[in-house]
Amino acid sequence: MTKVKDLFSLKGQCAVVVGGAGRIGTPMAEALAEAGARVYIASRAAKSDHPVVSRMVKAGLDVHAIAFDQSDEASVNRAIETITKECGTPAILVNSGVERPMARLLDDDVEAWDRSMAVNARGLFVTCRAFARAMGAAGRGSIINVTSIYGVVAPDPAMYEGSNEGTEPDYPYTKGGMIMFSKYLATYFARQGVRVNCIAPGGLFDNQAEPFYSRYLAKVPMKRMAVPDDLKGITVLLASAAGAYITGAVIPVDGGWTAW
């Protein structure tokens, strides 16, 4: 049997984290790099001097920036070609990028909905398909799509009353669709050695104001919000050989929110 430390090792592997400079993507990218992978943080505006990239590089991690538009198929394919030339076919893809244009919630314009679909729905399809095909040709790969508790259960409007917080209508739509698309991909590419799973985080602590904060904790059995470290272990599990028999799964990281 393989030793457990070797099962979790990502040494020699290449990972791409879309949205890897965001609040969710940053600890995921850091975890993959700490486990030994070369990590590319990807977004439309990714730059090598981005503070997140610079911090990880200074910490001795093999982290790089690569610019691409996840909703543009040609842009995604060019990025895969560039990465493959530098370190081989990417073995890990994390989709944690999201655009949230519907700031006025149900009162927003339909054009804001269309913008969300163009980036969040089209972008997921384009990126997953391109990477899954490349991984399948190489005979291995892990795709980790970051959904949300609101891809699993509906938000409670009462929780947001009297606060500046809220959930846009497009968000559960795209996050719920992400789950079923991931299951589709998991079955479609399983024979080619590609696994596809979802992580469904709860709210990440960011000094949220009252009364929202207390109302949120009242819904969580563990009575706290998520912190960045909560996302690191599950990311490495799903990316590594330790998760080799896990595909098509949706794993909540929510302190028990969806267990009620």
Burial of 204 (0-12, 13-18, 19+ CB in 10 A): middle
Tell me the residue range of the domain where 193 lies. Answer: 4-255
In a domain, residue 101? The reply is yes
Do residues 167 and 152 lie in contact, with contact meaning Cβ atoms separated by under 8 Å?
no
**pLDDT at 63 (0 to 100):** 97
**pLDDT at 46 (0 to 100):** 84
Do residues 102 and 119 lie in contact, with contact meaning Cβ atoms separated by under 8 Å?
no
**pLDDT at 214 (0 to 100):** 95
**pLDDT at 251 (0 to 100):** 98
In a domain, residue 22? The reply is yes
Average pLDDT of each block of 10 consecutive residues along the chain (260 residues)?
Answer: 96 96 96 98 88 96 94 94 96 94 92 93 96 98 98 93 86 96 98 98 94 95 98 98 98 96
**pLDDT at 45 (0 to 100):** 82
Could you tell me the pTM of the whole model? 0.96
In a domain, residue 243? The reply is yes
**pLDDT at 26 (0 to 100):** 97
Question: What's the CATH number where 209 sits?
Answer: 3.40.50.720
- The domain tally of the chain equals 1
**pLDDT at 55 (0 to 100):** 96
**pLDDT at 43 (0 to 100):** 86
In a domain, residue 260? The reply is no
CA dihedral 166, 150, 123, 198 (to 10 degrees): 150
Hey, what are 253's tokens? 């990281």
**pLDDT at 48 (0 to 100):** 87
Do residues 140 and 18 lie in contact, with contact meaning Cβ atoms separated by under 8 Å?
no
| Three-state SS sequence of the chain | CCCHHHHCCCCCCEEEEECCCCCCHHHHHHHHHHCCCEEEEEECCCCCCCHHHHHHHHCCCCEEEEECCCCCHHHHHHHHHHHHHHHCCCCEEEECCCCCCCCCHHHCCHHHHHHHHHHHHHHHHHHHHHHHHHHHHHCCEEEEEECCHHHCCCCCHHHHCCCCCCCCCHHHHHHHHHHHHHHHHHHHHHHHCEEEEEEEECCECCCCCCCHHHHHHHCCCCCCCECHHHHHHHHHHHHCHHHCCCCCCEEEECCCHHHC
Number of Cβ within a 10 Å radius of residue 209:
10
Hey, what are 251's tokens? 């794993």
**pLDDT at 158 (0 to 100):** 92
